[in-house]
Amino acid sequence: MQIETQIGPASTWRADALVLAAFEAAAGERPPFVAGLNAALPWLALCPAVDDFSGRAKQVMVAYGPRSWSIPRAILVGLGKFEQWDLDRWREALSAAFKTARELKIERLALAFPLFQGLPATPAAALDEGLAAGSLALYRYREHQTRDRDEAETGRQPTLVLCGEAPLEPADAEALRDLPAEVAGVELARDLVSGPSNQVTPSYLRARAQDLADTYGFRLEVIDREQAEALGMGAFAAVARGSREPACCIILEYAPSARAADPPLVLVGKGITFDSGGISLKPSAKLEAMKMDMAGAAAVLGTFHVIGRLRPDRRIIGIMPCTENMPDGKAYKPGDIIRSLSGQTIEVISTDAEGRMILCDALTYALRFEPAAIIDLATLTGACVVALGERVAGVMGNRDDLVKQVAELGSAVGEKFWPLPLWDFYFEDLKSDAADFKNVGERKAGSIIGGVFLKQFVPDRIPWVHLDIAGPAWTDRELPGIPKGASGFGVRTLWRLIRQSLTDAPLNRS
């Protein structure tokens, strides 16, 4: 993401096209364009395209001016009715504008500050969300396509030219400062989730973690399967045993020297690079989608990419248990009793509930850092997709204020979280006759039971939040700012959480 600014009279702005957004006008009237932009495009009033533009939601038109003009094109996007405006509409409109710019092979795309000031949101939020959505809408995963079906679709990004007569307010400029790093973090997560499981193996994730460590000076620690066994990570090792692909638990640490002894924020991400279900084999329909079962780990790596670029003043640790879940002569089996790193024993009912098996040992491992808080992200349950759909993640934990904070920060960046309860009585369903508890209950309350299972591994004194991202990690339809496929969900929320924790309760580092 490349951003340039041009400050000066509108007549001096230069670009290949300028984005103009407008709310829907009453019948017979022209939509009111944001004031202050006419000076940049004096030809626009003469252009008949404007007469055909109503400003209704999803409308996109291109208006052309004289070829020699400093800005010869306007991309007009409709925002729909003013009363119905929300950030998702806005993201959708900017996504549409950016995609049109790509079709036109626009190299320099202008966005003028007045555009972000006439909206029912703070200019900082409008700027942040508009540019993030527009830029991320152009994401493409083309690594394995050797026949380029459409040259214009290669994911090339225009240079964004931010134009204003006066500089941005400091608060708005600050919002902008983090944006390219956030976008790059989301793109990294999308690349990893998009990659097929024969490429994106645990070793591949480890190599990417190594790249980040080399680039940004993170400490990297890797626990392989034998070491995990020796350490007592029996639940992680049980899942790993069924795969020929070497498993590993990746630990990344970022610690500014003045903060090296602080209690860290720990981010835990599920890294199942392919989930066949194991011996409790999944049906083959849609099984190819299970390459995305490492989206939690991808979100943590994406967040570390942001951390490396923006260097927040707090200690953060990422833990990513990574393995395939496969059927094999050595695979763990229903009925097996597994001893977790915590010492608690687990009766395996379904080997397809492997996410909680690898996560529980990662959570216990996290405790050795005496965390200020733990946030885990996992494509944990199909039940969460049934309950909330593919745009919304479940959020649960042992601190209501933290759960609420995550949900609020998420909604500001278009990542939707909805709370689920973890009342103690749910644990009844996990009671086992043979071990401390089972790894699954009945079908009822599947996502909550997943959360209740994980809760057994987090002492009450440690604030903890579990994010079930099974729905939004991947989308089968295009969404505002998200092409079909991997979403990179979680990265922006985690970054906002880190940023906010530098100053605000309840995660304040001091």
From residue 466, how far is each of 198, 233, 268, 357, 507 by CA, in Å? 28, 20, 9, 14, 15
Per-residue x/- marks for ligand BES, 334-353, CB under 6 A?
A: ----------------x-xx
Which of 446, 451, 472, 480 forms a contact with ligand BES (CB under 6 A)? 446
Residue 383 touches ligand BES, criterion: CB under 6 A: yes
**Environment class of residue 388 by beta-carbon count within 10 Å: exposed (0-12), middle (13-18) or buried (19+)?**
buried
- Least separation, in Å, of the C-beta of 144 and ligand BES? 22
State the binding partner of 429 from Zn ion, Mn ion, ligand BES, none, CB within 5 to 8 A by kind: none
What distance in Å separates the CA atoms of residue 352 and residue 330, rounded to the nearest whole number?
A: 15
Residue 376 touches ligand BES, criterion: CB under 6 A: no
- Whether the Cβ atoms of residue 188 and residue 303 lie closer than 8 Å to each other: no
- Least separation, in Å, of the C-beta of 429 and ligand BES? 11
- Least separation, in Å, of the C-beta of 446 and ligand BES? 5
- Least separation, in Å, of the C-beta of 196 and ligand BES? 16
Residue nearest to Zn ion (CB): 275
- Least separation, in Å, of the C-beta of 435 and ligand BES? 16
DSSP 368-430: GG--SEEEEEE---HHHHHHH-TTEEEEEES-HHHHHHHHHHHHHTT-EEEE----GGGGGGG
Residue 324 touches Zn ion, criterion: CB under 5 A: no
State the binding partner of 470 from ligand BES, Mn ion, Zn ion, none, CB within 5 to 8 A by kind: ligand BES
Question: 282 catalytic, yes or no?
Answer: yes
- Token representation of residue 23: 């709310």
From residue 485, how far is each of 193, 281, 291, 329 by CA, in Å? 9, 24, 11, 33
For ligand BES, give the closer residue by CB, 31 or 450: 450
Residues 175-234 that bind Zn ion (CB under 5 A): none
- Token representation of residue 195: 């990659």
Which of 327, 382, 485, 506 forms a contact with ligand BES (CB under 6 A)? 382
Q: For residue 435, what is the DSSP state?
A: S
Residue 451 touches Zn ion, criterion: CB under 5 A: no
For ligand BES, give the closer residue by CB, 130 or 355: 355
Residue nearest to ligand BES (CB): 382
- Least separation, in Å, of the C-beta of 430 and Mn ion? 17
Place of tokens 């943590």: 300
Residue nearest to Mn ion (CB): 352
What distance in Å separates the CA atoms of residue 205 and residue 199, rounded to the nearest whole number?
A: 10
Place of tokens 């929320």: 493
Binding site for Mn ion (CB under 5 A): 275, 352, 354
Residues in CB range of 323: below 8 A, 6 or more apart: 202, 225, 236, 239, 240, 243, 245, 247, 248, 271, 272, 273, 358
Residue 322 touches ligand BES, criterion: CB under 6 A: no
- Whether the Cβ atoms of residue 296 and residue 378 lie closer than 8 Å to each other: yes
Residue of 140, 282, 339, 404 marked active site: 282
Which of 379, 398, 405, 487 forms a contact with ligand BES (CB under 6 A)? 379
Q: How many CB atoms lie within 10 A of CB 267?
A: 30
Instruction: State which amino acid sits at residue 148.
Output: D
Among residues 22, 91, 16, 86, the alpha carbon closest in space to that of 53 is found at: 22
- Token representation of residue 307: 């951390």
Which of 172, 354, 376, 429 forms a contact with ligand BES (CB under 6 A)? 354
Residues 339-378 that bind Zn ion (CB under 5 A): 355
Residues 58-77 that bind ligand BES (CB under 6 A): none
Question: 356 catalytic, yes or no?
Answer: yes
Residue 321 touches Zn ion, criterion: CB under 5 A: no
Per-residue x/- marks for ligand BES, 252-291, CB under 6 A?
A: -----------------------x----------------
What distance in Å separates the CA atoms of residue 410 and residue 232, rounded to the nearest whole number?
A: 35
For ligand BES, give the closer residue by CB, 72 or 485: 485
Which window, 35-43, 329-337, 358-366, 373-381, contacts ligand BES (CB under 6 A)?
373-381
State the binding partner of 187 from Mn ion, ligand BES, Zn ion, none, CB within 5 to 8 A by kind: none
Residue of 356, 391, 416, 455 marked active site: 356
- Least separation, in Å, of the C-beta of 290 and Mn ion? 8
Which of 22, 189, 235, 470 forms a contact with ligand BES (CB under 6 A)? 470
DSSP 488-504: -TTHHHHHHHHHHHTTS
- Least separation, in Å, of the C-beta of 354 and Zn ion? 6
For Zn ion, give the closer residue by CB, 280 or 342: 280
What distance in Å separates the CA atoms of residue 417 and residue 391, rounded to the nearest whole number?
A: 9
Among residues 14, 119, 31, the alpha carbon closest in space to that of 78 is found at: 31
For ligand BES, give the closer residue by CB, 21 or 470: 470
Sign of CA dihedral 162, 167, 172, 175: positive
- Whether the Cβ atoms of residue 294 and residue 285 lie closer than 8 Å to each other: no
- Least separation, in Å, of the C-beta of 289 and Mn ion? 12
Sign of CA dihedral 415, 421, 422, 428: negative
Which chain residues interact with ligand BES by CB under 6 A?
Answer: 275, 293, 350, 352-355, 379-383, 385, 440, 446, 470
Active-site residues, by number, are 282, 356
Which chain residues interact with Zn ion by CB under 5 A?
Answer: 272, 275, 293, 355
